[in-house]
Structure 1
């Protein structure tokens, strides 16, 4: 396998060259716009049955459709990016975001809303594609901080999206949420078209359609069972049948991929210890990140009469959560510095310790808004560290021609973690309740339990990260490993 080579710096070009800064800014904006789409619908979720003239169980598909489409699209768009051009697939993703947003904005019934939300979900490959473009196009000196910023854009958009969506929902017709998403997507697409170059690093070959169908089927079964299990019953035939189907289909898919000449996912590359362990840690970090997003807004909005709720509006809750995303962005250069100095393995482990500590703070500091703000910012800092290290670890173990597919698979692992967090937190909060008038609300101990589980997930990520391989220097690559050169943020010694 050929060594990894960074994009050469042109004569007279510095790491802070205007062109480089513009490319980074445009790609990060695209990531923020796509992650904004994920939270834009949150303020109207309780009202969707009335708005769409549909039962609550059916209206929930407006959220589930996005999750399922994103899970399928992320690895597929990554592979297509490696084959046919990452910028082309990035633009395709942005076009689907705009098309989905316009479809949802024009809808007043359930069917077009589901179609629109599914199209929005198909745009979820933007962040891994952006990271892969950065690897191909940026000078080596800028790569670490730029990929950390791009990776953090997922949290930035999510944190900023909630207050923005609440503000729009309070002052405008709900359709304006989707018109805003369409406008932002169009702006991002135009900027990509104008300022982001197309990479010449490609694998070529033929797209693995049977592999894509098999992977999509298995992932849909798995995530559908996770996301809808609480509604259908975890012991119901439908839920258990979907879990069983996911296991059978994914095993069959894996066997097929191992035999395919040009597989959708190169499982042999995925099985390299550095890639495999990083992906496992990503599942745990995805869980930790989403656990905070589930618990804190509820605590902030519950009535003060409960004794632990803070009685804030959705807009207030969003404003409290917003600094978390800014902290994640601020941690990007710090994460890159630690990775350059001691390696991304250390950065990932530091992130896990910080996240675990942040959840520990939230368990004992939940009596005031400022306490939750401090805890959420600490957690956000840890997530920023970890999300900055993950692309460096992945890119340090794969060939440049496989970058988009490998980063997309890593993003999918985080999504599986967030879906699992949503399901498990839902189960905990549904079973640990307290009476409040004629209703039952999640209890204080229920919230503390979810936060303890989030801390435990971060500790699990720390233990998993210990098994990331020790540093391998340039020219010392073991058989079957991608050679690491100066562009790679090397791992620290064991």
Structure 2
């Protein structure tokens, strides 16, 4: 078994290593474009004056376009070259970003915007969204990397060579932990506030990745580290909806909660791309097959741990809930929110 250095013979090796990150980034863009409208669905009938049935065609048209164009573009790639078709698709996405920028400007100038961007930019709303993106990144690395690590061949020096069924059983305790700890996280939020719960959860996630970095060769340590990350994920994910619901007006809770879920999904997509880039770049040759090295997995865990700590810092920066007398509360059940706080204005 020998290490494979980064190719220096020419551009071919570099292009080969960039293929997976570029395709993963394209997958992220596709996921975002397909789901970004979902958080607005509950409010679109009211905002557009249309019936719910008419609005549902918006999602249907998007799905139909994806279903029809996927084989068409695949055939175009066979006929005219996959690189050309990929560049054309990325060009269309770049054009969509320009349209999005124009739309955002129009929404900021509108007296009755479809999406209240000013409210979304306030610290009480924007910071939970950022924390959701980072927590989604940190959460997904746990299951994504663990599944690949335990299935790695034993000959690699660190892998366990488990089957797909055994790998699923290794991931099963994580779901059980999240189910059991959900009531506990709710009580913590009630006693100390959702902001503290989010900070504690993301810090525990970072601690779990420290365990993963220290030892990723023994199954019981792998399961322990994954369990610790799952514990932190439970606390973090249970606190995020509470923070959003307490920060926006009642009429916007559905769309704001949907955006928060979308941010978690984007974080998971970013994690998938980042982990793929790390594992592809650090490989060994084993029986003629390229497999990731153990330092590659440890680097992925370190990356996820740093992201979890960043989420913890963002959580601590979220403003505390105001109490009825106007002072800030850091623990216990918050008092009624002032309208100015809900609107994100001083």
- 1:325-364 equivalence runs, <5 A: 325-364=175-214
**In the superposition, relative to structure 1, how do residues 419 and 266 fare at CA in structure 2: closer, same or farther (>3 Å)?**
same
Name the TM-score, length of structure 2 as normaliser: 0.73
Deviations 1:316-366 (A, max 9, x none): 111111111121122211111111111000000000110000111111231
Q: Say yes or no: does 1:75 pair with 2:75.
A: no
Contact 2:28 2:266 in 1 (8 A): no
Match of 1:444 in 2: 294
Matched ranges for 1:268-287 at <5 A: 268-287=118-137
Gaps of 5+ in 1: 1-59, 104-109, 116-230, 484-494
Cα drift, residue 416 of structure 1: 1.3
- Paired position in structure 1 for 2:342: 482
C-alpha distance after superposition, 1:64-102 (max 9, x if no partner): 798356523432324348879xxx89xx79x98xxx9xx
Once the 2 structures are TM-superposed, how far is the Cα of residue 308 of structure 1 from its aligned partner?
1.0
**Cross-structure match for 1:392:** 242
> 1:55 — aligned with what?
none
Residues 289-338 of structure 1: per-residue CA shift (max 9 Å, x gap): 11112211001111111111110111111111111112112221111111
Aligned-partner Cα distance in 1 for 2:145–2:32? 23
In 2 relative to 1, CA 68–471 (structure 1 residues): closer, same or farther, beyond 3 Å?
closer
Highest Rg: 1 or 2?
2
Note if contact 2:28-2:269 (Cα within 8 Å) is conserved in structure 1.
Answer: no
CA contact (8 A) 1:302 1:309 kept: yes
CA distance in 2, matches of 1:457, 1:263: 33
In the other structure, the counterpart of 1:266 is 116
Q: How does 1:209-358 map to 2 (within 5 A)?
A: 241=91, 244-245=94-95, 247-358=97-208
Q: Tell me which residue corresponds to 1:418.
A: 268
Aligned to 2:232: 382
Rate the CA distance shift 1:308–1:113 in 2: closer, same or farther, 3 A: farther
C-alpha distance in 1, partners of 2:103/2:217? 49
Distance 2:193 2:87 in 1: 47
Q: TM-score, normalised on structure 1?
A: 0.53
Matched residue pairs, number? 288
Which residue in the other structure is 2:312 paired with?
A: 462
SS for the counterpart of 2:284 is strand
Residue of structure 1 equivalent to 2:78: none
Whole-angstrom distance in 1 between the partners of 2:321 and 2:28: 41
Equivalences for residues 147-166 of structure 1 within 5 A: none
TM-aligned CA deviation for residue 437 of structure 1? 1.4
- The structure showing larger relative contact order (alpha-carbon pairs under 8 Å, at least 6 residues apart) is 2
Deviation at 1:286, TM superposition (A): 0.8
Are the structure 2 counterparts of residues 64 and 413 from structure 1 closer, same or farther at C-alpha, using a change threshold of 3 Å?
Answer: closer
- Secondary structure at 2:323 match in 1: coil
Whether the 8 Å contact between 1:391 and 1:407 is mirrored in structure 2 is yes
Partner deviation per Cα, 1:160-195 (whole Å, 9 max, x = no partner): xxxxxxxxxxxxxxxxxxxxxxxxxxxxxxxxxxxx
User: 1:246, CA displacement in angstroms?
Assistant: 5.8
Cross-structure match for 1:25: none
Q: Gaps (5+ residues) in structure 2?
A: 1-23, 72-81, 327-336
Pairwise CA distance, 1:249: 3.5
CA RMSD of the aligned region, Å?
A: 3.4
